[in-house]
Amino acid sequence: MPVKKGGKGKLGGMKIIFSWVLLCLAATTFPAFAKTPGEVEVGSLLREAQMQGLSGPSKKLSAFRGKPLVINVWASWCPPCRQEMGSLERLSRRYGGKQFEVIGISTDDYPDRAAAFLQQSHTTFSNFIDSKLFMENMLGADRLPLTLLVDAQGRVLGKYYGAKQWDSPEALEIIAKAFRIKM
């Protein structure tokens, strides 16, 4: 049987079906390969890490134990990261230190660029730079921005990719529910 031009014959239909099958396979297998090396899953405890200070002194991650923690992974060259930084600053000023802490982890290659962005955006909460990619890999920051909610014992309660308005009513509800606090 001759195949019609434009892919409308049996061969064209089979190509479409084959394409859909490949697309479905790719969609179902992609998340299995999306993990970063050493990534800590939701529900698991974060490992100890020495964090290099960017806007203050260096600290161990364990120094934040005892209070829930909002960790934002960002880069100065990332437009969505820059977009959400203001809402994280407002969240930190309103609730930070009282019911939970807010910290930032920059994945910038150049600390001076990250520090300049923090100064330009008037960011006051603690920020650290991840020059060895340990935190980036452990937290699962294969896309930026990434925000994690971590309980007082260091257990990851949730991971949120993409820019959010972290001081919006919806985000405050997510935080309050995750940390089991009243805001």
What DSSP assignment string belongs to 27-60?
A: HHHHHHH-PPTTPPPTTSBPPP-EEEESSS--EE
The mean pLDDT of 55-67, rounded to a whole number, is 96
Does residue 5 carry a pLDDT above 80?
no
Share of the chain above pLDDT 70, in %: 81
Joined tokens for residue 124: 């006051």
pTM (two decimals): 0.81
> pLDDT tens across 67-120, in order?
999 999 999 999 999 999 999 999 999 998 899 999 999 999 999 999 999 999
d(CA 143, CA 81): 11
The single-letter code of the amino acid at 161 is Y
Helices (H), 98-148: 111-120, 134-139
Q: Exposed/middle/buried for 4, CB within 10 Å: 0-12, 13-18, 19+?
A: exposed
pLDDT at position 131 is 86
Q: Give the pLDDT of residue 4.
A: 45
9 pLDDT tier (thresholds 50, 70, 90): low
Q: For the segment 22-52, what is each residue's pLDDT rounded down to a tens digit?
A: 333 333 333 444 688 899 999 999 999 999 9
Mean pLDDT estimate for the chain: 86
Confidence of residue 14 (pLDDT cuts 50, 70, 90): very low
Check residue 30 and give its pLDDT: 39
Greater model confidence, 75 or 21:
75
Over 50: is that where the pLDDT of 18 sits?
A: no
Percent above pLDDT 90 for the chain:
77
Check pLDDT > 80 for residue 65. Answer: yes
Predicted confidence at residue 70, as pLDDT, reads 98
Give the pLDDT score at 116. Answer: 97
